[in-house]
Amino acid sequence: MEYIMENLWIAWVAVGVFFLIVELLTTALVSIWFVPAAIITCLFSLVVHSLVWQIALFVVLSAVFMVVFRKIYNKYIKKDKDEIKQEEHLIGKTAKTSEDTDSHGGRVLAGDVYWRAVTENGEKIEKDETVIITGVQGTTLIIKREN
């Protein structure tokens, strides 16, 4: 038992590697702050062999790194909410209907992506017609027949 308590650093390395793998698989900033917390706790475990203190340090560091990383993310990485949505660059472009489309819905091919679409004025547009994108509502394109 004494050997395990003196070598808990191995467990903290495993914890850090685990959370690094989780972060690499998700890329959603859900576990990145656990990685430096585990590394620092690993170093701390070489000096202090109390599991309670190690866990307490890990929890505190995780919280601190979460706050710091979130601030950095919100300031430098996250797109400003006032920026134009990615879909809005499609307004004014042409697309081709991939099925009959009306005010209740349908699908269009814009570039190489199929989008849900509704017609601007409720008219029915047949499959394979060229249309103009006039707006975006969420992930639905608003279209009208090309003149």
Q: Which string of DSSP letters, residue by residue, matches 52-101?
A: HHHHHHHHHHHHHHHHHHHHHIIIIISPPTTSPPGGGGGTT-EEEESS-B
What mean pLDDT do residues 4-24 have? 91
What mean pLDDT do residues 40-49 have? 93
pLDDT digits (tens, 9 = 90+) for 92-109: 999 999 999 998 899 999
Structure confidence at residue 88 (pLDDT): 73
Structure confidence at residue 82 (pLDDT): 45
- Does the pTM surpass 0.75? The reply is no
Q: Give the residues across from 141 on adjacent strands.
A: 117, 136
Structure confidence at residue 144 (pLDDT): 92
pLDDT digits (tens, 9 = 90+) for 106-142: 999 998 889 999 998 889 999 999 999 999 888 899 9
Structure confidence at residue 43 (pLDDT): 95
Please report where in the chains the tokens 């029915």 appear, as a residue: 124
Name the phi and psi angles at 142, rounded to 5. Answer: -100, 130
Q: Please say whether the beta carbons of 129 and 113 come within 8 A.
A: no
Q: Please say whether the beta carbons of 103 and 118 come within 8 A.
A: yes
Structure confidence at residue 96 (pLDDT): 94
What structural domains and CATH numbers belong to the chain?
A: 2-77 (no CATH), 86-145 (2.40.50.140)
Q: Give the residues across from 79 on adjacent strands.
A: none
Residue 2 pLDDT > 80: no
Residue 80 pLDDT > 70: no
Structure confidence at residue 65 (pLDDT): 94
Residue 84 pLDDT > 60: no
**Distance, CA of 143 to CA of 116 (rounded, Å):** 10
Length of the chain: 147
